[in-house]
Amino acid sequence: DGESIAVFTKNQTNPYFQAVRVGTENAAKTMNAKVIHYIPTKPDSIPEQLSQIEDVIVKKPNAIVFIPVDYKAMVPGVEQINEAKIPVVNVTDRSAGGKFLAFVGADDYNLGLETGRYLLKKLGGKGNVVIIEGVKGSLTSIDRVRGFNDAIKEFKDVKLLASQPANYQRLQALQVMENLMQSHPQIDGVMAANDGMAIGAIEALDGANRKAQVIGINGTKEAVDAIKAGKMLASGDYNGFVQGCIGTMVAIRALRGQPIVTEVVLKPTVVDSTNYQPYDVAVESRSCPAWDQAAAMATKTN
Amino acid sequence: MRAAVKSPPAPEVVEEKPDLGTPLLELKGISKQFPGVKALDDVSFAIWPGEVHMLLGENGAGKSSLMKCLCGAYQADTGAYFHMGEKVEIRTPTDAKKLGIAVIFQEFSLVPYLDVAQNIFLGREFKSKIPGLLDRRRLYAEAQKVLDRIGLEVDPRTKVHTLGVAQQQMVEIAKALSQDASILVMDEPTAALSDRETERLFAVMRQLQAKGTAIVYISHRMAEVFALGDRITVLRDGKNVGHAVPGETSPDQLVRMMVGRTVDMSYPRNFRAPGDVVLELKDISATTGIADINLVVRAGEIVGLCGLVGSGRTEVARAVFGADAITSGEVRVFGRIKQGGPDVAATEGIALIPESRKTEGLALIRTVSDNLAVAGLPKLFPNHLFSPGRARRSAEALIKRLRIATPSPNQSVGLLSGGNQQKVVIGKWLAAGARLFIFDEPTRGIDVGAKSEIFALIDQLVAEGAAVLMISSEQAEIVHVCDRAYVMRGRRIVGELSRSELSEENIVRMGMHDE
Amino acid sequence: MSMSSQTAGATPRLHLSKDVVQVIYRLLAAGLLCVVLAVVTDSFLSTNNILNVLRQASLLFFLASGLTLVILSGGLDLSVGANIGLSACLAATVIKATGSPVLGTLAGLGSGTLVGVCNGLMVAKLRIPSFIATYGMLWVLHGLTYYYMGGETIHGFPPGFRQIGSGYFLGIPIPVYLMLGFLAAGTFFAQRTVWGQQIYAIGANPVAARLCGIPVDRRLILVYAFSGAMAGVASLVFLARLNSAEGDIGEALTLPAVAAVLIGGASLFGGVGTVFGTFVGALILTLVLNGMNLLAVNASWQPLVTGVIVVLAVWLDMIGRRRT
Amino acid sequence: MSDHALSAAQPRPRLPAIPGVAIVLVALALVFAAISPNFLSTGNLSNILVQSVILLLLAMPMTLIIMTEGLDLSMGAVLTLASLVLALTVVSTQSLVLGLAGAVGVGLAFGFVNGWLVSSLRIPPFVATLGTLGVAQGLALIVSDGQSVVGIPRFLRQVYSGETAGIPNPILIGAAFYALFHVLLYHTKFGVYIRALGGNRDALTLAGVKWQRMLVAVYMLGGAMAGVAALLLTARINAGHPTAAIGMEFDAIAAVALGGTSFERGNGWIFGTLLGVLTVGVLRNGLNLMAVPSSAQVAATGALVIVALFLDGLRSRKP
Ligand SMILES: Nc1ncnc2c1ncn2[C@@H]1O[C@H](COP(=O)(O)OP(=O)(O)OP(=O)(O)O)[C@@H](O)[C@H]1O
Ligand SMILES: Nc1ncnc2c1ncn2[C@@H]1O[C@H](COP(=O)(O)OP(=O)(O)OP(=O)(O)O)[C@@H](O)[C@H]1O
Ligand SMILES: [Mg+2]
Ligand SMILES: [Mg+2]
């Protein structure tokens, strides 16, 4: 009891990671452990997360729950953790190397694919769409966009007009959308790689008095509100909260010698106007699934 | 374009060239055009070894420009250079250096965060035996030698930015002397110096002269012209208007050549009975080191403040104006205790003409008109709305009144000649309607004609009831102009001289009386 | 920059004021850009797109206009972007809590101004170089915002409030009116008031300005407060436009805002520049991004092209000024 | 700038001449040592030093650039690009030398362009390097196509994680370059001219020094050091990444300013920069050890910079 778990997340600004953090806290509280958060002061800074790993190793927490800011560049950091013999659970972005107790995440590709399909079906399998990408080179963006593209390929009458990055930034998405609307008089669907950008696109459409169906990814409160209000079509559920819960549970259970699972890849759920209710609560008031439920989601056990 | 007054033709002067053999350096037909100003117009000029050649002219006549062409800092538009009879090119400072030309510039060319020695040998560093590195020991030894020669008692390791104006001027001189040049150009080297340093400099110049160095010397101080000069060249409006020899010419004649009219150099004053006390200092001490300063200035008086360089005169002026903090004592202005910074001082009608025009007096990148308006903004535009036209008209009036040579009120002040810049510094306070003027070296670098005009102006100010506190290193000025004077030594006031006691000897005796 | 070269560069021969000449050159540059874009794309010249560009430029201009005065006074304000973040979050909270856009607006303007005053006090009274003082402030503001927001966003504001960001009047977006208003006010303040002139004087030589009796400290505080207030304005327009507040809302805007001021002809050494120049600078930057989006330039190339154009614009401007 | 050439004498300092950054560094170290038992362990101290080296390698040339009244905003982006070039070269040729040559080459090229824009075209350094920042960032995205470059051979990682004579390699590299910069600034002509470039450029012209070349050299030095830092960065993250060092130039500028180098008149010192870099390192490390929340760390970083400069200001009040 009273184990200390160090939790590494990518930044302090994206609501998604806040959901993960709340999940870890929730799980730790019910299991009588405590978490300490390490977040780069500069969003997504690789050198800074490496430094934080080194500093944390000096402090020797009992276990680590780890989201790499970059799945490849952070491998040396993971190896240092391994050398220091601190058990570590990988969450959200699957690290390209290093030894982990388990991986807990969602499948970005399938998320993109399913949400994309949902949109295209709603459009009746035809029309013009644009994709708004996240940060170039980030695993989440690459996989989600790949999913979007594959969904589009399934529908012959759908035309992809443009695929532009807006770096997961709301304002950039808004301006990119404004500019795209100038060169494309007819846009029927917008696929954004996260909810913030989706909302930015919606604002741009509203501003120009144009209509299009917009989807995003993450299932944030804001997106749920927009879905409720009928402004947004759907959001792929990425469920950071549950990822945080399960990641922490695995870490603590391993410390206590209880059985664990080694991989949980959450199934994609598309949140739309028919099923948003469970998501319409602030993360702080949600609670973690019980271990049985969590174990049932496992895709690998040892 | 230039604002020179219409003037009668200059008196005829002997134009024959003395037969002294081949000149060391000869400039022929030099012209230099700046936007709006023809700074030099077909000027020819020659120097012979071992002579001190005085270059005279009004502010903006083109003296500095001519010297800058001579040393490669400017490139002349037309003209040719001959070194010992041979045609040479001087296009860069390096070319000039190769010919053995060294220059003491009117505006300092020192680097603030290098030390004295590094400044003296800038561009001529001593190489160490280890390739790529510098020989620091040699640097300081050599620098010490040069400093000893001119009698500057400063550690060569002192960073230049910590030095006062006079010491910086001495470093500038040391820098030029260290080059062992065959031609030495000095552009108003004594403008910032007091008599003691000046004497020292003259001694060094005489040594150099004896060794055969040719010296070109620019100064607005008539006494120096006659004490040092072997020959005189006068420029006016960018043209060479004649040569003269000191023994055969009188100061009045020279002045007439320079300004094209007669100038009364005795600075006549109308002494009147002083009025109410305007400024009163009681036991002032300040963070800058001055202590127990007591003095009084009344309306209608010009009170001098004299002493050696470093005696603390500037610090007194700054303390009055609120530019430096006072640690004890009180300043009373018009009977009320004054507290606060320069902004308070300005609203109470005090004006400070600071000693360093470039760093403290002017915004060099702004126009003449802007600079002339800046101190008087609240007075000129009481409703806070600025009108460029109004500012311009006010500036034009001042340009006329002070005879500032500028192609237009829109010229950047940084492009004016040194003396004209100084006039702008004075002018901006005239627009502010101040009633207590503190002049710190007001005539530094100002030509004789302008000087007498400025003193006439100051006289007029006091006649209208203003009070003036004047600092000057030229004792003659203090003696001629002031009603009374205080003498400072070691950052304290050591005495007061009444009008009848005011003489150069008395000032020197009181101010120099060493411990 | 050597004195002679720099000053020589800035002197017009005619009575045509320096500022006017600068502005003409810069407008020409912007015009050239427009012509190029109009020729190579078919959608550039639509009314919609023009309004679009103007509205995007307005966001940049709000920040940059405040920054212009700071730069004129010889300083720099790196905290404007972070200031937007904090002010937007506070304004959003107040609107949510009270339902009153007016109170929210006051909160946004107030917090922006307060941050500016703090900057001003640090620069004027504590004599911390502005670059550092405002850089430190940037971190402090980020810290406060992150702490306050805890990674969440606040969204959904009353339609009345949203008008200032996304509304139209006579077919022209409201932010464009705001921009023109601030352009006129800023130009008037800088060129036609005593305080404006004093700010120029301070920028050109702070020591001399002080010895001229200008209350330098008070003017500097004013300048930074104004810059903070403009960040407050920008935060409100952002909020209204984006309909949501998050911590890093203005982060990416600081450098473009500085760039806009510099492209507009101001000098980081102070004393040179105009608000109108900044307006054109903001326009040029926005046109470049708009053009690249219209041309569907690969996103990887966008920073590169922007970089080259920024340098080119400033260089052409300098040549232009040297010629006069 | 040179217009404000020389100020009148400054009043004598009233506080002892201890730079603000030193006071802050010592104070921080004392506080952390008192609160966190791990802070003073050899492992942790070496940790701080190792972490500080990359920043030091950037901050030292930045000091010189700032002393010339310049600025290099492109440094972080150039470092990123150089790191990618190094990674790509090493992965394809397996040669460390070629990789380093490539990285330093990229740095030199950008340094040259920066220097040329600033000295020949007289574009203000802020604008010129803001432009090249965009170019370097764009090139980084283009050469990497937004992806990390992986498969870095073991020997490259050894550069960062290995030890020589019991001392971690990065510390040795940092020390060697510190010595180099010290000599450069205080014992060579170049050092003298750097001060003059910031203090009074006209003085150099009149002394017949071709300062344009010097200025280009200063920026090239900055680029080259970004190349060297790229070696350590790539070895550290075991990859090339298109955003690895974005924004690091501001950390470097902050460290330089923290160290007491001023943006005007060529007033600066390299030891102050070392102190500045260490102060940032100690602060981050200590706050991490104390598990201070990230948002407070962010605010503390800002407050620290302000406090140090404020202490400096107390010492030498401008007249
Ligand atoms: N770089 C420049 N650009 C434009 N005009 C200049 C420049 N340098 C000098 N001038 C102008 O050339 C004229 C001659 O100036 P110069 O400095 O040679 O005068 P001077 O004889 O040395 O005067 P002073 O006694 O006041 O020092 C002046 O009108 C001045 O404004
Ligand atoms: N004893 C000294 N040793 C070294 N430097 C000194 C000494 N006394 C004065 N100085 C320097 O000389 C500078 C000029 O002195 P100060 O301004 O007090 O005198 P001043 O009478 O106004 O002289 P100036 O003729 O320069 O106006 C001082 O600021 C100081 O830096
Ligand atoms: Mg002159
Ligand atoms: Mg003095």
Separation of CA C16 and ligand 3 centre (Å): 28
Task: Provide, as residue numbers in chain C, all residues whose Cβ is less than 8 Å from the Cβ of D301.
Answer: 136, 139, 143
- What's the CA gap between C69 and C222, in Å, rounded? 10
pLDDT per position as a tens digit, A109-166: 988 999 999 999 999 988 999 999 988 777 788 889 999 999 999 998 999 998 888 8
pLDDT at residue D7, rounded to an integer: 37
pLDDT at residue C216, rounded to an integer: 92
Rg of chain A over Cα atoms, rounded to whole angstroms, equals 20
Task: Provide, as residue numbers in chain A, all residues whose Cβ is less than 8 Å from the Cβ of D244.
Answer: 46-47, 73
Task: Provide, as residue numbers in chain D, all residues whose Cβ is less than 8 Å from the Cβ of C126.
Answer: 310, 313
pLDDT at C322 over 80: no
Contact C193 B432 (CB under 8 A): no
pLDDT at D16 over 60: no
Contact D5 B108 (CB under 8 A): yes
Interfacial residues of C (vs B; Cβ cutoff 8 Å) = 3-4, 6-8, 10-13, 15, 17-18, 191-198, 200-201, 204-205, 207-216, 218, 271-272
pLDDT at residue D319, rounded to an integer: 32
pLDDT at residue B447, rounded to an integer: 81
pLDDT per position as a tens digit, B418-441: 888 888 998 888 888 888 999 988
Judge if the beta carbon of residue B104 lies within 6 A of ligand 2. Answer: no
Contact A171 C242 (CB under 8 A): yes
Contact B111 D200 (CB under 8 A): yes
Q: Does A164 touch chain C (CB under 8 A)?
A: yes
- Segment B76-90 shows an average pLDDT of 85
pLDDT at residue C19, rounded to an integer: 62
The model's confidence at residue A103, banded by pLDDT at 50, 70 and 90, is very high
The model's confidence at residue C297, banded by pLDDT at 50, 70 and 90, is confident
Of A44, A205, A275, which is closest to residue A140 (Cα–Cα)?
A44
pLDDT at B159 over 60: yes
- Segment C261-281 shows an average pLDDT of 87
What b/e readout covers A268-301, taking b as 16+ CB neighbours within 10 angstroms?
bbbbbeeebeebeeebeebebbebeebbebbeee
pLDDT per position as a tens digit, C231-251: 999 999 988 888 888 877 777
User: Mean pLDDT for chain B?
Assistant: 83
pLDDT at residue B193, rounded to an integer: 76
Whether the Cβ atoms of residue D273 and residue D279 lie closer than 8 Å to each other: no
- What's the CA gap between A8 and A90, in Å, rounded? 10
Please count the residue pairs, one from chain A and one from chain D, whose beta carbons lie less than 8 angstroms apart: 94
pLDDT at C2 over 50: no
Q: Does C43 touch chain A (CB under 8 A)?
A: yes
Of A106, A123, A155, which is closest to residue A233 (Cα–Cα)?
A123
Q: Does A265 touch chain D (CB under 8 A)?
A: no
Between B309 and A263, residue with greater pLDDT: A263
Q: Three-class SS of residue D148?
A: coil
pLDDT at residue D58, rounded to an integer: 94
What is the layout of strands, in order, in the sheet containing B214-218?
B101-104, B183-187, B214-218, B52-57, B231-236, B239-244
Q: Which residues pair with A160 in a beta bridge?
A: A129
pLDDT at A202 over 70: yes
The model's confidence at residue A302, banded by pLDDT at 50, 70 and 90, is low
pLDDT per position as a tens digit, A23-33: 999 999 999 99
The ligand 1 atom at the shortest distance from the C-alpha of residue B421 is 26
Judge if the beta carbon of residue B310 lies within 6 A of ligand 2. Answer: yes
The model's confidence at residue A41, banded by pLDDT at 50, 70 and 90, is confident
**Cα-based torsion angle of the residue sequence B442, B444, B449, B450 in order, rounded to the nearest 10 degrees:** -40
Contact C310 D131 (CB under 8 A): yes
**Cα-based torsion angle of the residue sequence B68, B74, B75, B76 in order, rounded to the nearest 10 degrees:** -50
For residue C28, report the phi and psi dihedrals to the nearest 5 degrees. Answer: -60, -45
How far is the alpha carbon of D128 from chain A, nearest alpha carbon, in Å? 25
Q: Which residues pair with B277 in a beta bridge?
A: B298
Residue in C258, C303, C310 closest to D137 by CB: C303
pLDDT at C165 over 90: no
pLDDT at residue B242, rounded to an integer: 82
- Segment C106-110 shows an average pLDDT of 94
- What's the CA gap between C135 and C123, in Å, rounded? 12
pLDDT at C223 over 90: yes
pLDDT at residue D171, rounded to an integer: 93
pLDDT per position as a tens digit, B295-354: 999 888 999 998 877 788 888 999 999 888 888 888 888 888 888 889 998 888 899 999
The ligand 2 atom at the shortest distance from the C-alpha of residue B290 is 18
* CATH, residue C177: 1.10.3470
Task: List Cβ neighbours of D80 (8 Å cut-off, separation of 6 or more).
Answer: D136, D137, D140, D230, D241, D242, D243, D244, D245, D246
pLDDT at residue B62, rounded to an integer: 87
pLDDT at B8 over 50: no
pLDDT at B5 over 50: no
Contact B352 C211 (CB under 8 A): yes
pLDDT at B51 over 60: yes
Angle, in degrees to the nearest 10, between helices C216-242 and C80-98 = 60
pLDDT at B377 over 60: yes
Provide the CA C144 distance to its chain's centre, in angstroms.
Answer: 23
Which tokens go with C22?
């600068």
The separation between the first and the last C-alpha atoms of chain A, rounded to the nearest angstrom, is 24
For residue B295, report the phi and psi dihedrals to the nearest 5 degrees. Answer: -160, 160
- Segment C73-81 shows an average pLDDT of 91
Stretch among B7-11, D61-65, D129-133 having the lowest mean pLDDT: B7-11
Q: Does A41 touch chain D (CB under 8 A)?
A: yes
Q: Where would I find the beta strands (DSSP E) of chain D?
A: 163-164, 167-168
How far is the alpha carbon of C264 from chain D, nearest alpha carbon, in Å? 11
Burial class of residue B494 (count of CB atoms within 10 Å of its CB; 0-12, 13-18, 19+): middle
Most confident among A289-298, B162-171, C117-126 (mean pLDDT):
C117-126
Identify whether C67 is part of a domain.
Answer: yes
pLDDT at residue C160, rounded to an integer: 83
pLDDT at residue D4, rounded to an integer: 34
**Domain with C286 in it:** 19-33+42-323
Q: Which residues pair with A164 in a beta bridge?
A: A132
Which tokens go with B68?
């800058």
- What's the CA gap between D123 and A227, in Å, rounded? 51
pLDDT at B360 over 50: yes
Q: Does D10 touch chain B (CB under 8 A)?
A: yes
The model's confidence at residue B14, banded by pLDDT at 50, 70 and 90, is very low
Between B172 and B2, residue with greater pLDDT: B172
What amino acid occupies position B94?
T
- Segment C78-84 shows an average pLDDT of 92
The model's confidence at residue A168, banded by pLDDT at 50, 70 and 90, is confident
Interface test with D, best of C78, C123, C132, C207 (most D CBs within 10 A): C132
pLDDT at residue C56, rounded to an integer: 86
Task: Provide, as residue numbers in chain D, all residues whose Cβ is less than 8 Å from the Cβ of B92.
Answer: 208
Domain D3-316 has CATH 1.10.3470: yes
- Segment C134-161 shows an average pLDDT of 86
- Number of domains comprising chain C: 1
* CATH, residue B218: 3.40.50.300
3-state secondary structure B11-50: CCCCCCCCCCCCCCEEEEEEEEEECCEEEEEEEEEEECCC
The model's confidence at residue D13, banded by pLDDT at 50, 70 and 90, is very low
pLDDT per position as a tens digit, D141-186: 888 887 788 888 888 888 888 888 888 889 999 999 999 999 999 8
**Domain with B84 in it:** 1-100+181-262
Q: Which residue of A has its CA nearest to C290?
A: A179
Judge if the beta carbon of residue B355 lies within 6 A of ligand 2. Answer: yes
Stretch among A36-40, A272-276, C147-151, D93-97 having the lowest mean pLDDT: C147-151
What DSSP element (H or E) covers C89? helix C80-98
Task: Provide, as residue numbers in chain C, all residues whose Cβ is less than 8 Å from the Cβ of D135.
Answer: 303-304, 307-308
pLDDT at residue D10, rounded to an integer: 41
Task: Provide, as residue numbers in chain A, all residues whose Cβ is less than 8 Å from the Cβ of C153.
Answer: 15, 196, 220, 222
Question: Which subunits count as partners of chain A given 3+ CB pairs below 8 Å?
Answer: C, D
Mutate to test the pocket of ligand 1, among B104, B399, B412, B416 (most ligand atoms within 8 A of CB): B416
pLDDT at residue D314, rounded to an integer: 64
Stretch among B6-15, B287-296, B386-395 having the lowest mean pLDDT: B6-15
Q: Which ligand is nearest to the CA of B491?
A: 2
pLDDT at C324 over 60: no
> From atom 9 of ligand 2, which residue's Cα is the shortest distance away?
B310
pLDDT at D115 over 60: yes
Q: Which residue of A has its CA nearest to C246?
A: A13
User: Mean pLDDT for chain D?
Assistant: 85
- The torsion region of residue D208 among left (phi > 0), alpha (psi -120 to 50) and beta comes to left
Separation of CA C114 and ligand 2 centre (Å): 43
Q: Which residue of D has its CA nearest to A51?
A: D51
- Number of domains comprising chain B: 1
Residue in C46, C59, C139 closest to A182 by CB: C46
Query: Parallel, antiparallel, or unpaired: how do β-strands B326-333 and B277-286 relate?
Result: antiparallel
pLDDT at residue C15, rounded to an integer: 44
The ligand 2 atom at the shortest distance from the C-alpha of residue B307 is 21
Provide residues with CB under 6 Å of ligand 1: B 34, 37, 39, 57, 59-65, 106, 405, 415-420, 445, 447; C 4, 8
What amino acid occupies position C158?
P
pLDDT at residue A216, rounded to an integer: 93
